[in-house]
Structure 1
Amino acid sequence: MRRELKWKWLFFFGGIAIMSLGISMIIKGKVLGVSPWDVLHIGLFKQIGFSIGSWSIITGLVIVTGASIYLKQWPKVATWLNMILCGVFIDGFSWLLPNTDIFIFEVLYFIFGLVVMCLGCAMYISPNLGAGPRDTLMILIVEKFGGSIRRARFIMELSAVVLGWLLGGPVGIGTIIIVLSTGSIIQPALSFFRKLLEKQISEPEAEKLVSKHQSKTLAKES
């Protein structure tokens, strides 16, 4: 059990770090546009100040608080960690990654950032330790108003894009690409990471069984 939890939390924290790196790369390549929620975060940053990572935490906190009041239950620890660490990592990677005004480099930032973000997202989801604030909101919308998760996600992201655009956030073809492509990348990656996690957890058990079998065999031979 201890090993299982260790690997689950390792995938969770590692996935959040990788996802945040991808988000930061996309923000660096914002000439093509950024993800719907980052349109809002950047718009708030331009109008009010603070950092983009701070706004990621603040909007997440608003969502988590609202969801907690509606559900009348305390969110999982992983939800809080997701909310805080994403913001911290985004600011950290945004500071570490070099800036560029060269179009081709911004495009490369965007392309690689999109792939890295999706891989990280799949990795952190694979242990099923808890949904992030925005995923929690999406589930609540489905429960309260009905419809599909895809529709709820579309409504959420459209609202974030419109509000962020009004605040001066960058919207472009890249925003549309992110909305249309993330699911296609995350789905196979999620299957891969779940299998990888299961393999890491189950390998010691298999080794124990082999060891026991060998011990019994040696005992019989002696």
Structure 2
Amino acid sequence: MSLTAPAGTARRGLTDLGPIAQLRAGRLVRRLSQLYVGLLLYGVSLAMMVRGDLGLAPWDVLHSGLIRHVPITLGQAVVVMSFVVLVAWIPLRETPGIGTISNALVVGFSADATLALLDRPDLLVARIALMLGGVGLCGLATALYIGAQLGRGPRDGLMTGLHRRTGLSLRLVRTGLEVAVVVLGLLLGGVAGLGTLLFALAIGPITQALLPWFTVEVTAPAPRSALGGDQG
């Protein structure tokens, strides 16, 4: 029994499509809208955790440490590190899509815009609410942009590329990467805390629970043999 969908059929689950195939997979307006809403909300969630001041997501610990030594904003640090990570895709032979480049740019700009509008509250209960809301919103945002099926984010691609090249499990690769960036971020003076631990424990289950609701059905592209006739 074949485990792959016939050429040209609709597929509900996540697919691994190249950049051109992603754009030809149908429902592009819905998918682009969902992608950019997800990326904007991701930046908002990052800013909420910053203003909660109870610990940042692992990669943001690194970003917060970086801006202590380089005269850039947190959002700009997100953009810079995204493109640094994309350089690491080259030996891993990962292929970026429109969602990859958009992720590298939009999240950082959205975070800076939100930080300009949102102040750190004095009440601890308000800060806890921002932390919890930031983690939950990040899970929703992740499900939105992944479910749009327009390419992995830079850090997601680094994780999957290392998994593919090393043979290690995704869980082990992700844990190793997040521990490494937290340690490096702390050495640079970054901000970690309860929110960092909560994010590490909760983001996977939240995203997994929401992803089926936001995975957009796409059309599987026909293989070359199907388009070019009988090749034996």
**Fold conserved between structures, TM > 0.5:** yes
Q: In structure 2, what is the equivalent of residue 39 of structure 1?
A: 61
Q: CA deviation at 1:163?
A: 0.4
Query: Would you tell me which structure has more helix in proportion to its own residues?
Result: 1
Q: In structure 2, what is the equivalent of residue 139 of structure 1?
A: 160
Q: CA deviation at 1:101?
A: 3.1
* 1:151 matched to 2:172: yes
Q: 1:77 to 1:106 in 2, by over 3 A?
A: same
Whose Rg is larger? 1
Q: Take 1:131 and 1:102, find their aligned partners in 2: how far apart are those partners?
A: 37
Q: Take 2:95 and 2:126, find their aligned partners in 1: how far apart are those partners?
A: 43
Q: Take 1:174 and 1:18, find their aligned partners in 2: how far apart are those partners?
A: 18
Partner residue of 1:171 out of 170, 182, 192: 192
Q: Take 1:41 and 1:20, find their aligned partners in 2: how far apart are those partners?
A: 13
| Aligned AA (2:36) | F
* 1:29 matched to 2:52: yes
Instruction: After the TM superposition, list the runs of 4 or more consecutive aligned residues in structure 1 that deviate by more than 4 angstroms.
Output: none
Q: Take 2:108 and 2:159, find their aligned partners in 1: how far apart are those partners?
A: 20
Q: Take 2:109 and 2:194, find their aligned partners in 1: how far apart are those partners?
A: 27
Alignment of 1:204-215 (within 5 A): none
Counterpart of 1:98 in 2: which secondary structure? coil
Q: CA RMSD in A?
A: 1.9
Q: Take 2:74 and 2:199, find their aligned partners in 1: how far apart are those partners?
A: 18
Counterpart of 1:144 in 2: which secondary structure? helix
Q: In structure 1, what is the equivalent of residue 15 of structure 2?
A: none
Q: In structure 1, what is the equivalent of residue 80 of structure 2?
A: 58
Question: Unpaired runs of 5+ in structure 2?
Answer: 1-23, 219-232
Alignment of 1:95-114 (within 5 A): 95-114=116-135
Q: CA deviation at 1:188?
A: 1.3
State which drifts further: 143-152 or 1-10.
Answer: 1-10
Q: In structure 2, what is the equivalent of residue 14 of structure 1?
A: 37
Q: Take 1:66 and 1:111, find their aligned partners in 2: how far apart are those partners?
A: 32
Question: Unpaired runs of 5+ in structure 1?
Answer: 202-222
- Alignment deviations for residues 87-136 of structure 1 (CA, whole Å, 9 cap, x no partner): 11111111111222332211111011111111011011102110000011
Counterpart of 1:165 in 2: which secondary structure? helix
Aligned residues: percent identity? 31
Q: Take 1:132 and 1:148, find their aligned partners in 2: how far apart are those partners?
A: 19
Contact 2:59 2:181 survives alignment (8 Å): yes
Question: What is the aligned length?
Answer: 196
- Alignment deviations for residues 141-166 of structure 1 (CA, whole Å, 9 cap, x no partner): 11222111111100110010000011
Q: Take 1:57 and 1:67, find their aligned partners in 2: how far apart are those partners?
A: 16
Q: CA deviation at 1:74?
A: 5.5
Contact 2:96 2:152 survives alignment (8 Å): no
Q: CA deviation at 1:28?
A: 0.8
Q: CA deviation at 1:79?
A: 0.7
Give the TM-score, by structure 2 length.
Answer: 0.79
